[in-house]
């Protein structure tokens, strides 16, 4: 069944079609919610509330652009609302006193997707949210500013700080994932600990 067929059946009130639509997109959208919300229970609640809004607003979908993208926007907005309620979104001023040099990503990284999500979840809420919106969802800084009620410059600053913090944490996580013959003191001196 195509998305268009599924949408038409849902608009006619078919509970079977609603179930199929949910099953088709729920896993992907839960992943989106988990990137914004630290607790799985909160992510699941945002997912359910998001799909409730999807079903209510289905008549508003105009078949312009991707249906998955339309659902994603609704779910992201619901996750942001939940984030505002559960975790204050004060945009953190990082206490970094030094910049982290940019390094190329290694194709043979020892980290898997779950490790990456765990590192992302450790970021302060403001950093994590701006990073998700910009790097993973494709929002622009003006759009992020409007969504979060911040300036474009603040969005850019939060993204820069999020990237630096992620880079530091990923380096530490990779160092911990790789067997090493170096002492902790040597690892610290090289920035790998």
Digit-coded pLDDT (tens) for 79-90 = 999 988 887 665
Rounded (10°) angle between helices 67-86 and 3-11? 60
Query: Where are the chain's structural domains?
Result: 3-86, 113-189
pTM: 0.73
Question: Is residue 6 within 8 Å of 21, Cβ to Cβ?
Answer: yes
Class of domain 3-86: mainly alpha
pLDDT in tens, 37-50: 989 999 999 999 99
- The domain 113-189 is placed in CATH, from the list 1.10.10.10, 3.30.390.10, 1.20.1600.10, 3.40.30.10, at 1.10.10.10
Task: Give the mean model confidence (pLDDT) for residues 91-95.
Answer: 45
The pLDDT confidence band at residue 95, using thresholds 50, 70 and 90, is: very low
Alpha carbon separation from 4 to 58, 75, 130 (Å, rounded):
11, 20, 32
């Amino acid at each position: 069944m195509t998305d268009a067929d599924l949408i038409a059946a849902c608009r006619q009130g078919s509970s079977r079609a609603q179930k199929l639509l949910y099953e088709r997109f729920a896993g992907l959208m839960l992943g989106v919610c988990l990137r914004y919300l630290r607790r799985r229970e909160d992510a699941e609640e945002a997912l359910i509330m998001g799909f409730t809004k999807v079903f209510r607003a289905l008549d508003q979908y105009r078949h312009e652009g991707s249906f998955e993208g339309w659902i994603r926007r609704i779910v992201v907005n619901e996750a942001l609302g939940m984030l505002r309620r559960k975790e204050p979104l004060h945009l953190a001023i990082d206490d970094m006193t030094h910049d982290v040099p940019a390094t190329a990503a290694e194709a043979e990284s020892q980290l898997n997707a779950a490790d990456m999500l765990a590192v992302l979840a450790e970021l302060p809420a403001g950093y994590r949210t701006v990073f998700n919106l910009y790097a993973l969802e494709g929002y622009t800084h003006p759009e992020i500013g409007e969504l979060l009620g911040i300036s474009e410059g603040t969005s850019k600053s939060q993204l820069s700080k999020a990237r630096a913090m992620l880079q530091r944490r990923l380096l530490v996580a990779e160092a911990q994932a790789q067997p090493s013959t170096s002492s902790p003191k040597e690892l610290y001196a090289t920035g790998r600990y």
